[in-house]
Structure 1
Amino acid sequence: MKRFTCGELVEVITAYLDDALDQPSRAGIEVHLSCCEDCGHYVDQFRSTIRALGDPPPEKLSHRTRERLMSAFRSRRPA
């Protein structure tokens, strides 16, 4: 099991929260969190931010921009 430093935890926090780490790495993060109060607060703040912001709505294209893009895609499509 890998032992994580505070700096390493910060680098992989999104992968940890997205459950995208392998099990040994995840276990290493959890061991670190169990004994590092500062990192525990950091993870809690990160989770709170995610809950507050949620998924941002998709960006809307103007009708003109969308039509120009679709025209460009159509013209590049093989016949």
Structure 2
Amino acid sequence: MKINGILTLNYKTEDNASLIYNSLEVDNGNYVKSKINKNTINYEINSDSLGSFLATVDDLIASEIVCEKIINKTNDL
């Protein structure tokens, strides 16, 4: 079975989107293709099983949350 999905993330600024895109791009393997357009990142996730698909999406979202928290803490300084 082939499972595909698209996750779209919108940010307040292009700088934030760029920082997160560049931070997460290193970790993306063959299962995730990403594109950035201004303040929006689109992730295309492809997998051969539901379990792998869900694990990939979970890892991606967890990593994004960490990046977002770092940006927010840095902006507070």
Q: Radius of gyration: which is bigger? A: 1
TM-score by length of 2: 0.32
TM-score by length of 1: 0.31
More strand by share: 2
More helix by share: 1
User: Greater RCO between the two (CA within 8 Å, min separation 6)?
Assistant: 2
